[in-house]
A and B are shown apart, each in its own frame.
Chain A
Amino acid sequence: MNLKLPWHSKSAEPYTLRDLPRRVLLSEYFVLYLTIVYVILLLPFIPWLLNPMNIKNILSNAWPLLALAMGQTFVLIVIGVPDLSQTSIMALTSVVGAVVMSNYFDPVLFSKSPLWGSLIAENGGIFAGTSLATLGGVVVMLSVGLLIGLFNGISVALFKMPPFMVTLVGWNLWAAIATFLPKSENIRHLPEGFVAIGSGNIGPISIAMLVALLLAVSGHFVLSKTLFGKRVYATGLNPKAAKVCGIPTKRIIIAVYMVSGLCAAVGSILYSARLEMGRPTMGSTLLLDIIGANIIAGISLYGGKGKVSWTFFGVFFFIILANSLNHLNLPFYMIDIVKGSIICLAAVLDVVRTRASERRVYT
């Protein structure tokens, strides 16, 4: 990790102590410093913050959020407008995955479901009991995530619909379908293989952590080292220039929405496995965290700016923030108020940063 501390800057401008606050504020790793400072400040009040049990708790919440937030980062870099449908994609994929994987459906609960008799029955979904149940379920979930992403991408890139409206409608639509299919019931009795994803370990490392980190590292790699990644940044920074240079901007837009959908599906896999059920209401409280983690991490709402590594720190900040506020016995609504205010401040900071960099144009 090439940490650029404020005093490592290669800029030609002379560095003084007065510049330090501005440097820190405008630095790439601002959220990392913020997290460290925050933990240090809070430690005397909540010594339990660094307790191994608590850290385990923090981590297990972090991994699904990391997957989701990373997908969001791709969309934010290109479009600048968040993908609001992510949590609903989570819910729908959770339900659909469970539908095909579950071993048993209680007729009392599920006979009213529109899928009863066709895709689900008392002895389970279509993959139930088979050795490929987990794999089948995962594949189905990822596919649904990709498909919805494709739908979003086409609506924005080809039909030129406003991105926030498309994903806002999606937020409602996919969640509504997710609730409709199982008639609001949670779907349990998922195969062991699947559940292991949520709670299993390989040595000291949990499978969830492995999955999330693999996804994040791949995402980071793709963005920073591949042709696609460079094109993503170019499209986000200046779609007109990108088009002239032969970059297929429409395809890029569709691709990032598909990435976002895929990441939502991965997050859903991790959550569903941990909860051991398919949940129609999954993720309904997460949108604030996903967007917040990105904004505080410095991913700009103007597009063109952001790195997965930043998102990584943003996610941890948010998890630690929520965790610590919990320990301080703040009620959930107060935590939301705090989160909202922080997002607002982060958005203002984004505006300030963008203005500051615009002013330093030379010719």
Chain B
Amino acid sequence: MGDKILEFVDITRSFFGVKALEKINLQLKEGEIFGLIGENGAGKSTLMNILGGILPQDEGCMLLDTQEYKPGGPSDASAAGIEFIHQELNLFMNLTVAENIYIHNFPTMQGTPIIRKREIIKRAKDLLESLGMEIQPTALLETLAPGERQMVEIAKALSMDARIYIFDEPTTSLTAKETTGLFNILKRLRNEGKTIIYISHILGDVEDLADSVAVLRDGKVMGSGPIQDFSIDKMISLMVGGSFKQIFPEKKSIPQKEKLLEIQELSQSGTVKDINFSLHKGEILGVFGLMGAGRTEMARMVFGVDPYSDGEVYIEGEKLPKSNPMASIEKGLAFVTEDRREEGLLMDVPIVDNLGMVALPDFCRNYTKIVNGKQLNEEAEHVSERLHLKATNLDVMPAKSLSGGNQQKVVIGKWLLKTPRVLIMDEPTRGIDVGAKYEVFNIINDLADKGAGILMISSEVEELIGVCDRIVVMSRGEIMDVFEKEKFTQEAIMRSAFRQGMIATATEGDEDEIK
């Protein structure tokens, strides 16, 4: 390891008044692999986006070789020798591997725009070989497997010969062999003096690979230093237990014995595998996992928005038809989607019409299917009161005029008008303020008291612990553990969520402890 190459000084950044990063101070050296870890929302992506020139910081500065570094955009970062390898692939299926690698800087023949095809094929071949990849440079990208495509994305970044590389969850689609190959590349680059920032949920990999590590939580650095000072347990304990201001309403009822929803062996190749669990009447079941664990995908399959290849879903013993949202709604299911803007609300449409979107057929006269506006308005007012929706003129004001918290209440409200038996909620408190969150929890408790079952997906462990009766933990498309209320601890749940990557390093003792 060499001299200091990059330094973050008091980096601070907020979104809509909420601090995403708070006085981040980190130093990175030349020729090291720097692990950056933390749970969802800890601030890793934000920090890297600032480094990569995608976002500006609000306060603080960055120093590159002790000079101030202030990129105006991603191209500035590139020019400064910083390459960001994102999780989402930015590749073109209809072009070859070589063309993808050189897409924005093709070497051309003197004075003409004609590409030196043989040159890019050769250079790509050399690059791929030096990285240990057996991919043909002339292959069309669409013919490659997901892991191979990810390798091409990595090769593309490495062809830029940068000084600092940021890898964001690079191994998600890679086979074990490809992962080993990647690690060899990273170690070689490190030995050549490059700096690599490695973001990953697979703590075992970070333990093996990194020279130094930094643990983020709630936008702050909880600990950083040489990897030898950090065991996996220590990493996890640093990640949990944030400064938590949320108060949770007390749940009055306890879950009943009757099973409401039963999921058996739900599978979809590549996405989820052997999902088995039950939801009981009056129960609030939380689903925790790191981003990309497959929770949303699983929920969408259960509800019927997306198809699945194997398994069954039963509601009170009755088989639920798959890929049929209409049938699901009829049988009493409801689904509050993750993104209210994309899939939850009609932004330009009045609130009352948004509230009526699901239950509308119930407000129509039997044969003529004319909407009974008066009845709809009344019901809308009722549910709006029940939810403490702060809005006037429900029949005129569009959904977009509401605050985030109130928008979320409208989304929940439209499902409540159908009095669901099972309410599936995907990140119901994302992007809403503390007070609104409390109100949402109250609504959830109220529904459970009345005998409904609630499946709540969330990325905030503390929230799930405060609200749920049981918590299911998912990772890489599979269920890892189910925690009963007595066993709720942040560390245990977090460890379970990170577990997929730890199987190789877990000893017998650890496993007993987890169970």
Give the CA-CA distance A228 to B360 in the complex, in Å: 10
Closest A residue to B368 using CB positions: A226
| Contact B337 A230, beta carbon cutoff 8 Å | no
Using known A-B contacts A225-B371, A230-B353, A363-B403, determine if residue A238 contacts B343 with beta carbons closer than 8 Å: yes
Using known A-B contacts A233-B349, A244-B305, A246-B358, determine if residue A226 contacts B364 with beta carbons closer than 8 Å: yes
| Contact B404 A363, beta carbon cutoff 8 Å | yes
Closest B residue to A360 using CB positions: B400
| Contact B357 A240, beta carbon cutoff 8 Å | no
Q: Is A112 an interface residue (CB 8 A)?
A: no
Q: Is B31 an interface residue (CB 8 A)?
A: no
| Contact B371 A227, beta carbon cutoff 8 Å | yes
Nearest chain B CB to A138 CB, angstrom units: 24
Digit string of B322-346 for contact with A (CB within 8 Å is 1, else 0)? 0001101110000101000011111
| Contact A241 B343, beta carbon cutoff 8 Å | yes
| Contact B348 A357, beta carbon cutoff 8 Å | yes
Q: Is B347 an interface residue (CB 8 A)?
A: yes
| Contact B325 A246, beta carbon cutoff 8 Å | yes
Give the CA-CA distance A227 to B329 in the complex, in Å: 17
| Contact A246 B348, beta carbon cutoff 8 Å | no
Nearest chain B CB to A223 CB, angstrom units: 11
A241 to chain B: which residues have CB within 8 Å? 337, 342-346, 357
Give the CA-CA distance A245 to B382 in the complex, in Å: 20
Nearest chain B CB to A235 CB, angstrom units: 10
Give the CA-CA distance A246 to B414 in the complex, in Å: 12
A233 to chain B: which residues have CB within 8 Å? 346, 349
Q: How large is the interface on A (under 10, 10 to 19, 20 to 34, 35 or more residues)?
A: 20 to 34
Give the CA-CA distance A2 to B431 in the complex, in Å: 38
Closest B residue to A224 using CB positions: B371
| Contact B348 A243, beta carbon cutoff 8 Å | no
Q: Is B407 an interface residue (CB 8 A)?
A: yes
**A:296-319 near B, CB below 8 Å:** 304-305
A361 contact from B328, B347, B360, B369, Cβ within 8 A: B347
Q: Is A335 an interface residue (CB 8 A)?
A: no
Q: Is A234 an interface residue (CB 8 A)?
A: yes
Q: Which has the most chain A C-beta neighbours within 10 Å: B16, B335, B401? A: B401
| Contact A248 B402, beta carbon cutoff 8 Å | no
Q: Is A333 an interface residue (CB 8 A)?
A: no
B361 to chain A: which residues have CB within 8 Å? 227
| Contact A237 B371, beta carbon cutoff 8 Å | no
Q: Is A355 an interface residue (CB 8 A)?
A: no
Closest A residue to B400 using CB positions: A361
Q: Is A159 an interface residue (CB 8 A)?
A: no
Q: Is A160 an interface residue (CB 8 A)?
A: no
| Contact A237 B358, beta carbon cutoff 8 Å | no
B335 contact from A230, A244, A360, Cβ within 8 A: A244
| Contact B360 A230, beta carbon cutoff 8 Å | yes
Q: Is B504 an interface residue (CB 8 A)?
A: no
B369 contact from A227, A243, A363, Cβ within 8 A: A227
A10 to chain B: which residues have CB within 8 Å? 393, 396
A243 to chain B: which residues have CB within 8 Å? 305, 325
Digit string of A200-232 for contact with B (CB within 8 Å is 1, else 0)? 000000000000000000000000011110110
**B:171-226 near A, CB below 8 Å:** none
Q: Is B370 an interface residue (CB 8 A)?
A: yes
Closest A residue to B346 using CB positions: A237
Closest A residue to B336 using CB positions: A244
B368 to chain A: which residues have CB within 8 Å? 226
| Contact B358 A362, beta carbon cutoff 8 Å | no
Digit string of B367-388 for contact with A (CB within 8 Å is 1, else 0)? 0111101000000000000000
A304 to chain B: which residues have CB within 8 Å? 346, 348
A305 to chain B: which residues have CB within 8 Å? 348
| Contact A230 B371, beta carbon cutoff 8 Å | yes
| Contact B342 A240, beta carbon cutoff 8 Å | yes
Q: Which has the most chain B C-beta neighbours within 10 Å: A243, A244, A361? A: A244
Give the CA-CA distance A10 to B398 in the complex, in Å: 12
Nearest chain A CB to B292 CB, angstrom units: 21
| Contact B370 A226, beta carbon cutoff 8 Å | yes
Digit string of A175-201 for contact with B (CB within 8 Å is 1, else 0)? 000000000000000000000000000
Using known A-B contacts A245-B357, A248-B326, determine if residue A234 contacts B400 with beta carbons closer than 8 Å: no
Give the CA-CA distance A310 to B312 in the complex, in Å: 49
| Contact A362 B335, beta carbon cutoff 8 Å | no
Closest B residue to A221 using CB positions: B370
Closest B residue to A238 using CB positions: B346
Give the CA-CA distance A357 to B356 in the complex, in Å: 23
| Contact B346 A240, beta carbon cutoff 8 Å | no
| Contact A226 B404, beta carbon cutoff 8 Å | no
Give the CA-CA distance A234 to B360 in the complex, in Å: 12
Q: Which has the most chain B C-beta neighbours within 10 Å: A246, A248, A357? A: A246
| Contact B343 A240, beta carbon cutoff 8 Å | yes
B358 to chain A: which residues have CB within 8 Å? 245-246
Give the CA-CA distance A10 to B403 in the complex, in Å: 19
Nearest chain A CB to B87 CB, angstrom units: 22
Give the CA-CA distance A248 to B330 in the complex, in Å: 13
| Contact B371 A244, beta carbon cutoff 8 Å | no
B414 contact from A227, A230, A238, A245, Cβ within 8 A: A245
| Contact B343 A227, beta carbon cutoff 8 Å | no
| Contact A225 B401, beta carbon cutoff 8 Å | no
Nearest chain A CB to B360 CB, angstrom units: 6
8 A-B residue pairs with CB within 8 Å: A10-B396, A233-B346, A238-B345, A238-B346, A241-B345, A244-B303, A245-B325, A362-B400
A230-B360, A363-B400 given; name 5 further pairs at CB < 8 Å: A10-B393, A234-B349, A240-B342, A245-B325, A245-B414
